[in-house]
Structure 1
Amino acid sequence: MDKLRRVLSGQEDNEELGLTDQVLDASTLSYSTRVKWFVICFAGGILCSILGSALLFLPNGMKLFAVFYTLGNIAALSSTCFLMGPLNQLKRMFDPKRLIATIVMLLCLVLTLCAVFWWHKRGLAIIFCIMQFLAMTWYSISYIPFARDAVMKLFTTCVS
């Protein structure tokens, strides 16, 4: 179990850590607290996204939809910071195999809010939300070994 905790937090062996890293490691959240806050943050993100989708059909609901859907994606994305730590999360996000998905996802988060609040383009906001979903999905499956290859093979099989 300790090995799993070290892998999820991005530390392979404690013996190789310096004194400063060992002190910082000792002062972090416990594993059970990290898992609890991951679940809370991730569930909150999903709840915000669902709530945003439900608010879409209200008058002026497009703004609420864009805000709640974007906050939901940010919460779901940041929930993994509890498992692996914020610095390790950033390193993994901008890893070359996730770089394009990360940039598209972050760009779509910002562009969704711009489309609703500054440009007042409802259709464009919906397109950016769909792109958020697709980029977040592509980013998420990059953590599963060979998942991207399987999705690409399934997609090419369905298209041809």
Structure 2
Amino acid sequence: MDKLKSVFSGDSEQENKTIVTQISDATTLSWSTRIKGFLVCFVLGAGLSILGSCLLFVPKNGIIIFAVLYTVGNILALLSTCFLMGPVNQVKKMFAKTRAIATVLVFVMLILTLVCAFAVKINALTIVCCILQFLALTWYSLSYIPFARDFIIKCFGACLD
């Protein structure tokens, strides 16, 4: 309400702010709003992925519906973290040296899944791409947990010995 009063009263404090400061003030979210945005986006993404999996066996276009909903759901779940750390910080962390390859792999698998569903139209290949998409997202997510990827590598290494 104070901001509204200052606009109508011609308060000079508002005029002295730079455009960058005004934009920053207008786009800053409170922590509770960030948590709510994260939860809504993540739950919606997970819901779309699950719905896509349920619609896999719809006759004719089931594989396309599955691929689209599963991919869009994963993108929403991935974007949900932008609410927690901000979009610029998210992109910086995504392309940090420790997870750049994992990030590129995730994007490649997202695109390949849709290409296989729409252009190639081989159902088995589309499902394989979805499985690889899941594995790429899992590997990417593990990069945020200290030593998690090293632990997984050692576990699989021990299983293969």
TM-score, normalization by structure 1: 0.83
Please, which runs of 5 or more residues in structure 2 have no aligned partner? 1-17
Q: How does 1:6-155 map to 2 (within 5 A)?
A: 26-27=25-26, 28-59=28-59, 60-155=61-156
Number of residue pairs matched by the alignment? 142
Greater Cα radius of gyration, structure 1 or 2: 2
Identity %: 54
Q: Matches of 1:37 and 1:29 in 2, distance apart?
A: 10
Please list the CA deviations of residues 44-63 of structure 1 after superposition, one character each: whole Å capped at 9, or x if unmatched: 11111111111001112100
In structure 2, how many angstroms separate the alpha carbons of the residues matched to 1:25 and 1:81?
Answer: 16
Deviations along 1:20-67, one digit per CA (max 9) or x if unpaired, are 877665440101000011011011111111111110011121000000
| TM-score between the two structures when normalised by the length of structure 2 | 0.83
What is the alpha-carbon root mean square deviation over aligned residues?
1.6
Q: In the aligned structure 2, how far is the partner of 1:33 from the partner of 1:74?
A: 20
Runs of 5+ consecutive residues of structure 1 not aligned to the other structure: 1-18
- Between the aligned partners of 1:159 and 1:22, the Cα distance in structure 2 is 56
Deviation at 1:97, TM superposition (A): 0.9
